[in-house]
């Protein structure tokens, strides 16, 4: 697993599952605790699609719809309300993973922002993760710790 490229605020990593690529986008470090404390809810927005003809990746028109949803989710991010943890795409699944402060407030704002969008085939799940252990574990799996020149296998 090697970083495929750098982004302004994060990195893109590629892994393989069942021989198909999965691209992960994340900042490989936890935000300061003061930013994490008000956001105890891990929120996973999953979009399943048929990528059989594209090695597990979505068709261009599906990807365009996913990018429209991604923009809405980006617009919801602000301190004390919502922060992106990571994104993944591949093997017939796109996930947008966020940490949020309040489930009801998040859903109300998300639904308001999506009112003029077509209905997306998404599933939204919430998990209590005040310690941000999900992101911390993913970082440990994908990104080498200082002094470790080997990427985990």
Q: What angle do CA 80, 85, 86 make, to 5 degrees?
A: 150
Give the structural domain span for 93: 28-130
In the prediction, which pLDDT does 146 show?
56
Q: Is residue 120 part of a domain?
A: yes
Q: Which of 99, 79, 78 is nearest to 26 (CA)?
A: 99
Maximum CA pair distance of the chain? 49
What percent of the chain has pLDDT above 90? 84
Per the domain annotation, does 11 fall within a domain? no
Per residue in 1-26, pLDDT tens?
A: 334 433 346 899 999 998 999 999 99
Look at residue 145 in the predicted model and tell me its pLDDT. Answer: 63
- Domain-located, residue 140: no
Each residue's pLDDT tens digit, 66-105? 999 999 999 999 999 999 999 999 999 999 999 999 999 9
Is 138 part of a structural domain of the chain? no
- Residue 144 is predicted with a pLDDT of 66
> Per the structure, how many domains does the chain have?
1
Q: Confirm whether 105 is domain-assigned.
A: yes
- Indicate which CATH number applies to the domain containing 62: 3.30.70.920
Q: Residue 102: inside a domain, yes or no?
A: yes
Dihedral over Cα of 48, 20, 61, 3: its sign: positive
What is the pLDDT, as a whole number, of residue 10?
A: 81
With respect to residue 143, please indicate whether it lies within any of the assigned structural domains: no
Does 15 reside within a domain? no
Closest Cα partner for 131 from 27, 45, 36? 36
């Amino acid at each position: 697993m090697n970083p495929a490229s750098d982004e302004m605020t994060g990195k893109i990593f590629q892994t393989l599952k069942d021989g198909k690529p999965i691209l992960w986008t994340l900042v490989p470090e936890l935000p300061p605790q003061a930013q994490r404390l008000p956001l105890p809810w891990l929120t996973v927005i999953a979009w399943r699609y048929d990528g059989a003809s594209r090695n597990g990746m979505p068709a261009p028109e599906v990807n365009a719809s996913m990018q429209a949803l991604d923009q809405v989710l980006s617009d919801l991010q602000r301190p004390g309300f919502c922060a992106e943890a990571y994104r993944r795409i591949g093997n017939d699944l796109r996930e947008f993973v966020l940490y949020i402060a309040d489930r009801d407030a998040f859903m109300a704002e998300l639904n308001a922002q999506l009112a003029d969008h077509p209905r997306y085939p998404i599933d939204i799940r919430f998990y209590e993760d005040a310690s941000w252990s999900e992101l911390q574990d993913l970082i440990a799996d994908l990104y080498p710790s200082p002094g470790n020149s080997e990427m985990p296998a």
